[in-house]
Amino acid sequence: MSIKSPIPTNWNKRSVEKIADIVIEHFNLSIGDPLEPMVNEQGGSIRYGSVEKDEIEGGSIIARSINDFEIVISEHTSARRDRFTIAHELGHLFLHLPMVQDLEPNASMRATRYLVEGDPEQQRAEWEANWFAAQLIMPRKEFKKCIKNFGVSSAASIFGVSELAAKVRAESV
């Protein structure tokens, strides 16, 4: 079985966010819900540690199918950062694995933090996974309202993300 890198959808941000909305609805996710039960229900697992240098500061995913995957999370990051990382890796699973397997049905996909420098396809796949993750754990409508009423710091706590993730999301909603 060959292992491929993510293939971007090349959809616009709102289209990617709509996929996250479908996942939210399917798993009945509420603001601040842990993502680990969703990963398990989908047939995946999460391991804390590292395979290579990829996971020292972030995470990666190896997906054999939509229901058979492993997310590897760094042992050196906070729970709030891990939450975004898990959501990001799920973005690769739901957005990019189908693209890979459309081209090569038996292929596995591996997405890592480190990209081949100057590879616009991989950069695009990372953006899409970030857009998906932001919508999954900080849905636009609810997040915008929270920022307006309580500010970035409180929103970070309410949505269970780092202040940096909340600040970046606040700049884009």
pLDDT one-digit tens code per residue, 158-169: 999 999 999 999
- Nearest-angstrom CA–CA distance, 68 and 109: 11
- pLDDT at site 49: 84
Model pLDDT for residues 88-130, shown as the tens digit of each residue: 999 999 999 999 999 999 999 999 876 666 789 999 999 999 9
CA 101, 107, 108, 109 dihedral sign is negative
Confidence of residue 57 (pLDDT cuts 50, 70, 90): low
DSSP designation for 54:
G
Q: pLDDT at position 118, please?
A: 75
The amino acid present at 69, given as its one-letter code, is: F
- CA gap 1, 32 in Å, rounded: 37
What does each C-alpha distance from 137 to 24, 53, 64, 114, 128 come to in angstroms?
9, 26, 24, 23, 14
Per-residue pLDDT at 114: 67
Specify the pLDDT at position 54. Answer: 46
Dist. CA 122–CA 128, nearest whole Å: 10
- Tell me what pLDDT residue 52 has: 58
Strands 108-111 and 3-4: parallel
4-55: per-residue pLDDT in tens? 999 999 999 999 999 999 999 999 999 999 999 999 999 999 999 865 554 4
